Structure 1
Amino acid sequence: MALMQCHFYSEVLGMNTTMHVILPQQTATQIGVDTKQSNGLHQTLYLLHGLSDDDSIWLRRTSIERYASAYGIAVVMPNAHRSYYTDMAEGSAYFKHISEELPNLARSFFPLSAAREDNFVAGLSMGGYGAMKIALSKPESYAAAASLSGALDMANLQDRMNESAQANTEFRRVFGDHVTDTENDLMWLLKQCEQKDGPKPKLFQCCGTEDFLYEDNLRFRSAAEQTRLDFTYIEGPGEHEWGYWDARIQDVLKWLPL
């Protein structure tokens, strides 16, 4: 696999930003790594970070480069800061940047497929929310989405934010005064996506039973199971930590329709 960090100017954000990219290499002789050769335009996983991290974190905390090499898939890891992958009420349009501008830029730099069936999105915590939001909002562009310990019930999280003035201020800068029944509400997006004509994304959700977001994940699972969407859920012992996510991202790669 080839690994690189890209610095580029985002017209949507109006500033310079970064992404890390893993690309399949045309070789099967890397020592100690199972490599699947990939020719032509690559299938791509957009892999999203959590609230406290950046575009380098998946590389620093997991073996995603080694795991991806076995599938011959490209992995694009963008930097979204603390945006919740949202067009912020008081800030930049990160949802538009990550879901539209970034894929187009990445495809202009690298041989990545633009076909819907070749594009997937996954993430942990805040990134799990972003992954589901992107795929449910743009099912015509993404074939599958996976959430690992995702912050999937933003309406409930908004209520909990009232306990901390600082957290509540940050949350309102991102989402405004309310989330329920808006494009930032995943429960609402599930219904909207189900009712749309056209293709639907496959959804994968996992969460550790000791995770502080476990109850939020159960509420999303219940809502997803009430739809006709192709939905997979797994749970087991685990907290909100990298040992759990390193294991589960391997499950995600196995599950993806590659």
Structure 2
Amino acid sequence: MAAVTIKKSEISSHSVDSVTARREARRRKILENAESRLKKLTGVEQKSNVTIDDFRPIKYECHDTSLTQTNDNDDSLSYNGILPTQASGSTNLGSNISPELMQNGLRHPSKSTLIEKSSYKLLRYFVIAFFANVLLIFSNGAFGRNANEIGCNMIFVPFVGYEFVNFFINRENNTGNSILRLLLIFNMKSETLKMIILYIQYLTQFTQDLFVYFFMFIVANQMLKLAFCLR
């Protein structure tokens, strides 16, 4: 009986020690998991080699920060939940547009470039108008009665000649941005779209240039009259 009692006491003490050891191991494991979680939050990762029976540590999935940043950036670029790549894939409006046409049509010149081009254009039209006035004076002195008919031709011939040459020199670059956006809706072919844009813009440019030319012609005519009066 004494031996049985001793064995029971040893078993009970052993079980108590085992439970205490397991509790201590669990407590240490909880502390290690908390420390590991803190290190993951701060960017430091450490793996634990402690294994305890009947205890499975919590597994944390590692998320790639680069993918998260990419998704965040994509969300900031999305519009109503649709990313630019999805929008381009869902719509096929620009499938028939050549890269050259898109590049020329969506190019935005700087403000200084536009001012410089406008200044050169005014100077060119002033020179042409001055030349037309000289031809008009020459026709009035050389042809007498037919001076009015020939004079009208002398007014328009330099301007039409300049516009004709300018059209064939710059026709590859004459693609309007606003017109391109409008015609993209109809999903037209690249060549047809290019020709429509070319002729519409040239017609608009011709009308604007005609008014500028007449203004410069009047200025040059008055300057020549003033020069002859001062003589």
The bucket for the TM-score relative to the shorter chain is: under 0.3
TM-score, scaled relative to structure 2: 0.21
More strand by share: 1
More helix by share: 2
Structure with higher RCO (Cα < 8 A, 6+ apart):
2
Structure of larger gyration radius = 2
TM-score, scaled relative to structure 1: 0.19
